[in-house]
A = this chain, B = another copy of it.
Amino acid sequence: MNTEIISIGDELLIGQVINTNQAYIAERLNSVGIFADRMTTVGDNEQDILSAFDQAWKTHTVVTVTGGLGPTHDDITRAAVCKFFQTDLVIDDETLNNVTSFFRRRNLPLTELNRDQARVPRGCTVIQNTKGTAPGYFFERDEKFFIVMPGVPYEMKEMTDSFVVPFFSSRPTGTVIQHRTLKTTGISESFLAEKLKDITPLLSSKKNVTLAYLPSPTGVRLRISVKAQSTAEAANEIRFFEQAIRSKVEPYIYGTDSEELEEVIGRILTEKLLTLAIAESCTGGFIAHKITNVSGSSTYFERGYVTYSNESKCTELGAPRTAIQQFGTVSKEVAEAMAFGARKKANTSIALAVTGIAGPTGGTEEKPVGLVWIGYSDEQETFAIKNIFSGERTIIKERAAQAALELLRRKLLLIPIDSNE
């Protein structure tokens, strides 16, 4: 089955809001055998909405719509849906109950605008909203499906997970689509392609298998996609190509699918019963933030120091004032001292430290913007490696954080540290 995902909202068209809903819906529907082959965004404008509905409904088995269901006057999706299905509005008692209790729980009065949200298109199945007040609508017509959900991401996600996915997973869809993504870091797209060039002819000979290179500032993802008649057949193909790729570029692959580097590290630290401290200057807390995004990180993450000032590097981590004067704040010596100091003070197995120039100001010819020293310390050794990252301030923070975590992964798994690029 195919789907077109339609997003509605002027805020998307003027670029004020990044559309995260499309990716979420696509990924979740993919998991139940529904493949998005088109995504469309239109404004809060009845004519554009109706023409998008029309085009999508003609060419797709499933049409998935988000946005424009809020309580305020600029939200017109509900009216457009009624027009499209030639129906009117009717009070839904369960929704009215939900809306009423939503406000009661928060000790807030129910406004007229919110009460109106309990009026839904006649003839739809209502998708209840447990995170907010606007309900979703679900239409089934001649083996085709029309889904309407709010644009607020966490409301839409909850409806997708608790209603849409369960609905379709109970219906078999014929073709099986499977993906497997191998996430690499520390190697560029063209270098990967060179290392994988022996696999390309093999791939070209297979009509049902594709390999995509997906670059991002922190690494290139390799995505294997397979269309097959059965789950077993798809899994076999994926296994074969995953192994072929791994045989060429294994050291660069830190994880698979949606796995983040910080999750991989968390798992290894937990298994090995090791603890971690972080000392950050130019990354400013970003590494600690990534690590603590992982549920359960409190078992291995002891503490972090965001030593932004020179003074704090000395008083918190015991970095020698003489080293800062002699070599500068962004130096091998200071990165090592920060890592060593953090490990000793936090009493952890390992510490990482980062000191660099995130820019846009502060660079010199000798020490340009993007220069980052990453320090590592455990009971056996303390050292630092030099990196030069390109990009704007936040990209440099991201790349430095990724490189620091990758250094830790390689140390934990005894993979040689690659100072190649």
Query: Cβ of B10 and Cβ of A212 under 8 Å apart?
Result: yes
Query: Is A251 interfacial (CB-CB < 8 Å)?
Result: no
Whether B36 pairs with A194 at a CB distance below 8 angstroms is no
Give the chain B neighbours of A7 by CB distance below 8 A: 39
Interface centre among A14, A19, A44, A282 (most CB of B within 10 A): A14
Please, which residue of chain B has its CB at the minimum distance from the CB of A181? B16
- Whether a CB of chain B sits under 8 angstroms from the CB of A328 is no
> A316 and B303: CB pair below 8 A?
yes
Asked, given contacts A18-B20, A74-B213, A312-B346, whether A13 binds B39 with beta carbons under 8 Å apart, the answer is yes
| Bound CA span A393–B285, Å | 17
Decide: B12 and A391 in contact? CB cutoff 8 A: no
Looking at the assembled complex, report how far the CB atom of A122 sits from the nearest CB atom of chain B, in whole angstroms.
Answer: 25
A311's nearest neighbour on chain B, judged by CB, is B302
Asked whether A286 lies within 8 Å of B289 as measured between CB atoms, the reply is yes
Residue contact B30 to A15, C-beta cutoff 8 Å: yes
Pairwise interchain contact B113-A70, C-beta atoms closer than 8 A: no
Chain B residues, CB < 8 A from A72: 189, 193, 212-213
- The copy count of this chain in the complex is 2
Q: Of B41, B45, B131, B292, which one neighbours A306 at CB under 8 angstroms?
A: B292
**CB of A32, distance to nearest CB on chain B (Å):** 13
Interface status of A284 (Cβ within 8 A of chain B)? yes
Q: Which B residues touch A23, using CB under 8 A?
A: 12, 15-19
Cβ distance A207 to chain B, nearest Cβ, rounded Å: 14
Tell which of B18, B37, B289 touches A43, judged by Cβ atoms closer than 8 Å. B37
A39 near B37 (CB under 8 angstroms)?
Answer: no
Task: With a 10 A CB-CB cut-off, give which of A108, A296, A298 has the most chain B CB atoms.
Answer: A298
B284, A293: Cβ atoms under 8 Å?
yes
Q: 1/0 per residue A105-145: CB within 8 Å of B?
A: 01010010110000000000000000101000000000000
Residue of B nearest to A203 (CB): B73
**Pair B288/A306 contact, Cβ less than 8 Å:** yes
Whole-angstrom distance between the alpha carbons of A14 and B3 in the complex? 11
Minimum CB–CB distance for A371 against chain B, Å: 15
Are B284 and A288 in contact (CB-based, < 8 A)? yes
Mark contacts of A299-318 with chain B using CB atoms, 8 A cut-off: 1 yes-contact digit, 0 otherwise: 00111111111011000100
Question: Which residues in B have their C-beta under 8 angstroms from that of A291?
Answer: 284
Query: How near does chain B come to A259, taking the closest CB pair, in angstroms?
Result: 12
Q: Contacting A309 at CB < 8 Å: which of B36, B215, B303?
A: B303
Residues of B near A394 (CB, < 8 A) are: 293
Distance, CA A188 to CA B70, complexed state (A): 12
| Least Cβ–Cβ distance between A33 and chain B, in angstroms | 12
The answer to whether A289 and B293 have CB atoms under 8 Å apart is no
For residue A44, give the distance in angstroms from its CB to the closest CB of chain B.
8
Partner of A298 from B44, B293, B309 at Cβ < 8 Å: B309
- Interfacial residues of chain A within 177-203, with CB under 8 A of chain B in the complex: 179, 181, 188-191, 193-194, 200, 203
Is there contact, CB below 8 Å, between A190 and B111?
A: yes
Given contact pairs A14-B35, A282-B292, enumerate 5 new A-B contacts (beta carbons under 8 Å). Answer: A13-B39, A15-B30, A16-B221, A285-B289, A305-B306
25 residue pairs bridging A and B, Cβ less than 8 Å apart? A10-B212, A12-B26, A13-B36, A14-B27, A14-B223, A15-B23, A16-B179, A16-B181, A16-B223, A17-B216, A19-B19, A40-B40, A70-B189, A71-B189, A72-B213, A74-B210, A113-B193, A285-B289, A295-B360, A298-B308, A298-B309, A301-B308, A303-B307, A303-B316, A312-B346
